[in-house]
Amino acid sequence: MTQQNRISGGQIDRSRTLRFTFDGVAYAGHPGDTLASALLANGVRLMGRSFKYHRPRGPLSAGSEEPNALVELRAGARQEPNTRATVAELFDGLEARSQNRWPSLAFDALAINDRLNTFFTAGFYYKTFMWPASFWEKVYEPIIRRAAGLGSLSRQEDPDSYDKGFLHCDLIVIGAGPAGLMAALAAGRAGARVILADEDFRPGGRLNAETLTVGGKPGAEWAAEAAAELSAMPNVRIMLRTTVIGAFDHGIYGAVERVSDHLPVPPEGKPRQTLWRIYARRALLAGGATERPIAFENNDRPGIMLAGAMRTYANRYAVRVGESCAIFTNNDDGLRTATDLQAKGVDVVAVIDARSEGALLPGIRHLKGADVIDADGRLGLRSITIRHAGGRTETVPVTALGVSGGWNPNVNIASHHRARPVWNEGIQAFVPGEGGPPGLSAAGAAAGVMSTHGALTSGQQAAMAALGDLGIRASAGTVPDAEDAPVSITPKWYVNSGKGRAWIDPQNDVTVKDIKLAHKENFTSVEHMKRYTTLGMATDQGKTGNVLGLAIMAGLTGQTIPETGTTVYRPPYTPVAMGALAGRSRGKEFKPFRLTPSHKWAEEQGAVFVEVGMWLRTQWLPKPGETHWRQSVDREVLATRKSVGICDVTTLGKIDIQGTDAGAFLDRVYCNTFSTLAVGRCRYGLMLREDGMVFDDGTTARMGENEYVMTTTTANAVTVFRHLEYCRQVLWPEMDVQLISTTEAWAQFSVAGPNARRLLQKVVDQDISDAAFPYMAAGSITIGGLRARLFRISFSGELAYEIAVPTRYGDALIRRLVEEGREFDAVVYGTEALGVMRVEKGHVAGNELNGQSTALNMGLGKMVSKKKDSIGMVLSQREGMNDPDGYRLVGVKPVDPTATLTAGSHFLEIGAAPVIANDGGWLTSKVHSPHLGCDIALGYLKAGDQKIGRRMRAVNLLAGTETEVEIVSPHFFDPEGERLRG
């Protein structure tokens, strides 16, 4: 197709032609175009459908405030719903489709909603669809859900990458229009570190859209020169295609840079977008203003747009929206569109000026005191109806209408800390109010300074003020000459005419009637109006419609506009791709992996790994021929109990505790006593939270008079260390105690089983006979001269040791142990076998240490010493935590040894109904014990200590299964502990 609406001039590169398709039809445009400008150049005004009524729509704007021209951009996994055609840069091969229509954009079956609009008023759905009750989910809602929504996701993984970055500056300037450029020049010339960010791909802001001059040059040329000067400054960073999305605390600004969205695919190694966190000492909001329309009947016809946008299309993109245009305005800025279009040779049929006063434009049919009261042309504007000052109406054929109701400063960022903007009577708009983000000021149109010269001046002044705050010396340069016209506006919000609908929020189909209905039903506060009518909740967040809506509500209630107030402005300024916010944290890279020292070795053996917090641990190590995990785990358990097994336990938290008060410190953080522990010995410790619940457990060794080594559970390694630092620094700073986490510093292996000593004796340099190194001994040893630590502790119930070497020797040690263990048929076992053996032995672990259990629940109540103060000691004595019939840890065995148990099953007495009143507790951990040849479990059972030997049922209602069980001691294996002392 030809670009029949392309006119002269503009900032497009006519030397190159870009091919693109919209709904499968091929078109051509030029570099510098947006998708919207290129479509308009090709005579395409219809670009979308509205949300509720599926009304045909064309672009309302030429910027990021666009509510109508939303498309699905790209195809396949890169399909991108709801992309605003007005900001999508054209590239060769661009593919776009209209959305929210079926079967086609020109014929949309759901446009039936528009015919039925009288039923679909604001909030109608709250009053119906209630009968019969079951029909909501089954009938009404599915229909509504299918009809709702805008564009579609591909449901495939986003193939592009995203990045995050951090920047620091003295001054961030948000917006590179005249105010922002001038501010950046002033600050940059003074040597300040400046970031100048603009959402557009071309600096200059409105200067690119106007025929105005700055310093005697075309505004766009001045802007380009200013940007060039700034680019040459090493202390200034210009960030185009970068939207500042929000002002956060303490001068932190979020910004999204669209690095590759203007390209067919991101270049190799480049992200699609980058989220920047910008730390700024001062900030200047120079984000300009957004034009607002005037509502009148059928003001949503494709071809009707904001007058300033029409000017942008003409001046910047060299596009006329239609062959014949009209302008409807209540302010002087609208007149500029008429004169600019006429200068471009576009036929301006009439200027309908709502104001009665003022001079007439020369050479144009300028109608004073007139209104546009209707528009015709379902798929594209054909005519408008004008009501003249005297009341006479006239229908005029036009294909484009520019509407201006005034300009709203973009106060969003200044209001992100919930500061309420204040009403400026002179420009009939809200400007930034007090209480905005500290360190942020506003300049130019964002501050309500609407002339070019005013913007340049206020930008420079605001920068000077910010620099002054920072103690950076700067001298004010001269402000270039530019127009300095005052704002002339007479408020006009909507044209009261017939019974038709006049749109305020075109995407969500909120009309003046809806506002009136909201008023009638007393949804009169702005928040109620917004929520009831959905005004401003569309993808454009009401950038063009909100002020209109609240002004109309103000008119209905008799309040002033500032009394009516605004809703709250919240980030992001424009919608942000989820991918950009997530950055690289996705897929396997969602969180880092922590690998154990034996990981490489285990990988070589074909180990199966399991996620344990951030760690990957060996779950089991299958041998050739083993087809089921149980075969491997049973083998690992039996071999360990028969001879010897090796397990990487590096993930347990390790904390070195040193100082003259180390023992006294441990007495306070553990509920049992450690100061009396002999040097060279270790002890099981139980740590409570201050509320008396069990926090963590582990074994702590006394390595020297003033030196202890604590171990924690894997899960609590970080939180226990944090807690100990809290105790040390905050609660008892008078104690002489120092801490360091050595979890990563030591590779630690458990060596367990009857042959554990024989195996280890081959490796270590010292005598570790029972006499020399008895049960619960601990000490520093050497392995071929290498410093190491040895603890004779057992989680498995076997004769067992834990041996630690500096982490970098961990891989060597596992290989050595495996090698030396061959003569004993040593196995390496994983977390499953570890779990089996600890349940057989009745040790608590994560499932029992659930943060909801007391020492008493675990059968460890006697460990809580009352003779000394320790964290949690006092509150553990509360009556509710000492119920004699409360939960107690028990062992569970199926009566039929072939029956299976399920962790999470609940205890019920034989014959008791499965209701909560009969609930006896639950099975916490279940394993299959190859030693006992049946499933066994631990559980918390009410008054469990009184029920040993009793038969109950373990019921899993989720699976509809139950098993008769015997309640037994949790110590299934070697209850006397003879083996571990062996």
Partner 1 sequence: MIIHHPILGPRDSQEFVYLGDASLMNRPDGLTAGIEAFHDYLYNRDNPAGEHRELWYHEQGDRSWLVVTRNTVTHEIVRVELARDVAKAAGRTK
Partner 2 sequence: MRYSGLRVVVEALTGHRGWKPVWRDPAPQSHYDFVIVGGGGHGLATAYYLAKEFGKSRIAVLEKGYLGGGNVGRNTTIIRSNYLLDGNEPFYEFSLKLWEGLEQDFNYNAMVSQRGIINLIHTDAQRDAFTRRGNAMIMNGADAELLDREQVRAMYPWLNFDNARFPIKGALMQRRGGTVRHDAVAWGYARGADMRGVDLIQNCEVTGMRIENGRIVGVETTRGFIGAGKVGVAVAGSSSKVMAHAGMRLPIESHVLQAFVSEGLKPFIDGVMTFGAGHFYVSQSDKGGLVFGGDIDGYNSYAQRGNLPVIEDVAEGGMALMPAIGRARLLRTWGGIMDMSMDGSPIIDRTPVDGLYFNGGWCYGGFKATPASGWCFAHLLARDEPHVTARAYRFDRFLKGLMIDEKGQGATPNLH
Q: CB of residue 148 vs partner 2: minimum separation in angstroms?
A: 5
The distance of closest approach from Cβ of residue 808 to partner 1 in the complex, given in angstroms and rounded to an integer, is 24
From the list partner 1, partner 2, none, pick the one residue 164 interacts with, judged by a Cβ distance below 5 to 8 Å according to partner type: partner 2
Q: Alpha-carbon distance 571 to 414, whole Å? A: 11
Q: Which of 19, 26, 125, 909 binds partner 2 (CB under 8 A)?
A: 125
Q: Within 219-258, which residues bind partner 2 (CB under 8 A)?
A: 246, 248-249, 252, 254
Distances in whole angstroms, Cα of residue 99 to Cα of each of 82, 113, 227, 443: 8, 16, 37, 38
217 is an interface residue for partner 2 by CB under 8 A: no
Cβ contact 196:239 at 8 Å = yes
DSSP symbol at 360 = P
Question: Looking only at residues 327 through 366 of this chain, which bind partner 2 when binding is defined by CB under 8 A?
Answer: none
> CB under 8 Å, gap of 24 or more: what pairs does 264-267 form?
264/91, 264/92, 264/93, 264/94, 265/78, 265/160, 266/160, 266/161
Q: Shortest CA distance to 840 belongs to which of 891, 780, 898?
A: 891
Amino acid at 110: L
For the CB of residue 159, give the shortest distance to partner 2 in the complex, in Å: 9
104 binds partner 2, rule: CB under 8 A: no
Q: How far is the CB of 541 from partner 1 (least distance, A)?
A: 24
129 is a site residue for partner 2 (CB under 8 A): yes
Q: Judged by CB under 8 A, how many residues of this single chain contact partner 2? A: 123
Q: Which stretch binds partner 2 (CB under 8 A): 79-87, 451-459, 677-685, 773-781?
A: 79-87
Binder among 127, 473, 822, 867 for partner 2 (CB under 8 A) = 127
Q: Which residues contact 758 (CB under 8 A, 6 or more apart)?
A: 644, 824
User: Of partner 1, partner 2, none, which one does residue 902 interact with (CB within 5 to 8 Å by kind)?
Assistant: partner 2
439 vs 251, 409, 445, 644, CA distance in Å? Answer: 7, 19, 19, 67
Beta carbons within 8 Å of 956's beta carbon, 6+ residues apart: 902, 904, 905, 906, 962
Binding pattern to partner 2, positions 519-538, x when CB under 8 A? Answer: -xxxx-x-xx--xx-x---x
From partner 2, partner 1, none, interface partner of 729 (C-beta below 5 to 8 A by class): partner 1
In which region does residue 587 sit, left (phi positive, over 0), alpha (psi from -120 to 50) or beta (all else)?
A: left
Q: Can the peptide bond before residue 267 be classed as cis, meaning omega within 30 degrees of 0?
A: no
CA distance 835 to 463: 65
What count of Cα atoms within 13 Å lies in the side-chain half-sphere of residue 2?
Answer: 4
CA distance 53 to 59: 17
Q: Footprint of partner 1 on this chain (CB under 8 A)?
A: 248-252, 279, 417, 438, 690-691, 718, 722, 725-726, 729-734, 868-870, 873-875, 877-878
- The least CB distance from residue 725 to partner 1, in Å, is 5
Shorter beta-carbon distance to partner 2: residue 109 or 578: 578
Residue selected from 388, 417, 681, 762 as contacting partner 2 according to rule CB under 8 A: 417
In order of 122, 508, 529, the CA distances from 521 in angstroms are 11, 20, 10
Q: What is the CA radius of gyration of the chain?
A: 37
Residues between 566 and 585 that touch partner 2 (CB under 8 A): 568, 570-572, 575-579, 581-583, 585
Quick one: what does residue 925 bind among partner 2, partner 1, none, with the CB cut-off 5 to 8 Å set by partner type? partner 2
71 versus 372: smaller Cβ distance to partner 2: 71
Q: Which is nearer to partner 1, 491 or 659 (CB)?
A: 659
Which position among 1, 112, 153, 932 is part of the footprint of partner 2 (CB under 8 A)? Answer: 153
Q: Which is nearer to partner 2, 703 or 720 (CB)?
A: 720
- Retrieve residue 766's tokens: 């010292």
Using rule CB under 8 A, residue 880 touches partner 2:
yes
Sketch the per residue contact string, 596 through 615, with partner 2: x for CB under 8 A, - otherwise: --------------xxx---
CB of 198 to partner 2, least distance (A): 19
Binds partner 2 (CB under 8 A): choice among 4, 17, 152, 729:
152
Question: Restricting to residues 50-69, which ones interact with partner 2 according to CB under 8 A?
Answer: 51
Shortest CB 760 distance to partner 1, Å: 35
In the complex, minimum distance from the CB of residue 74 to partner 2, in angstroms, rounded to a whole number: 9
Residues 801 and 644: beta-carbon distance below 8 Å: no
Q: Give the orientation angle of helix 546-557 with respect to helix 512-520, to 10 degrees.
A: 40
| 730 contact, one of partner 1, partner 2, none, CB 5-8 Å limit per kind | partner 1
Q: Does 121 bind partner 2 (CB under 8 A)?
A: yes
CA distance 630 to 614: 25
Of 582 and 875, CB closest to partner 1: 875
Task: Tell me the closest approach of the beta carbon of residue 474 to partner 1, in angstroms.
Answer: 24
The yes or no reply on residue 275 touching partner 2 (CB under 8 A) is yes
State yes or no: residue 75 binds partner 2 (CB under 8 A): no
11, interface contact from partner 2, partner 1, none, CB < 5-8 Å by kind: none
d(C-alpha 561, C-alpha 554), whole Å: 6
What residues contact residue 133 under an 8 Å CB cut-off, 6+ apart? none
Residue for token pair 């730390």: 279
> Which of these ranges, 5-13, 346-354, 515-523, 778-786, lies near partner 2 under the rule CB under 8 A?
515-523
Spatial CA neighbour of 649 closest among 570, 743, 735, 718: 743
Torsion of CA 471, 477, 481, 487, to 10 degrees: 10
Indicate which of partner 2, partner 1, none lies near residue 522 (CB less than 5 to 8 Å, by partner kind).
partner 2
- Report if residue 687 touches partner 2, rule: CB under 8 A: no
Stretch of 366-374, 589-597, 634-642, 967-975 contacting partner 2, by CB under 8 A: 589-597
Contact between residue 669 and residue 850 where contact means Cβ atoms under 8 Å apart: no
Q: Give residues with Cβ within 8 angstroms of 249, minimum separation 6.
A: none
- Could you say which of 61, 82, 460, 712 contacts partner 2 (CB under 8 A)? 82
Choice between 484 and 964, CB closer to partner 2: 964
The structure tokens 């009136």 sit at 516
Among 225-233, 318-326, 375-383, 902-910, the segment contacting partner 2 (CB under 8 A):
902-910
Q: How far is the CB of 873 from partner 2 (least distance, A)?
A: 13
CB 309, min distance to partner 2, A: 21
Kindly tell me which of 679 and 912 has the beta carbon lying closer to partner 2. Answer: 912
Least CB distance from residue 944 to partner 2, whole Å?
A: 16
CB of 977 to partner 2, least distance (A): 27
Binding mask 848-877 for partner 2 (x = CB under 8 A): --xxx----------------------x--
* Contact between 780 and 701 (Cβ < 8 Å): no
Residue 663 · residue 657 · CB < 8 Å: no
Q: List binders of partner 2 among 691-720 (CB under 8 A).
A: 691-693, 695
Q: Does 128 bind partner 2 (CB under 8 A)?
A: yes
Task: Give the span between the Cα atoms of 289 and 410, in whole angstroms.
Answer: 5
Cβ atoms of 27 and 5 within 8 Å: the answer is no
Query: Minimum distance from CB of 513 to partner 2 (Å)?
Result: 8
Rounded to whole angstroms, the Cα distance separating 833 from 108 reads: 63
Find out whether 18 and 31 touch, Cβ atoms under 8 Å: yes
CB 659, min distance to partner 1, A = 12
Residue with tokens 């200068």: 343
Q: According to CB under 8 A, which one of 29, 43, 151, 402 is a site residue for partner 2?
A: 151
How does 178-216 read in b/e, with b if 16+ C-beta sit within 10 Å? bbbbbbbbbbbbbbbbbbbbbbbebbbbbbbbbbbbbee
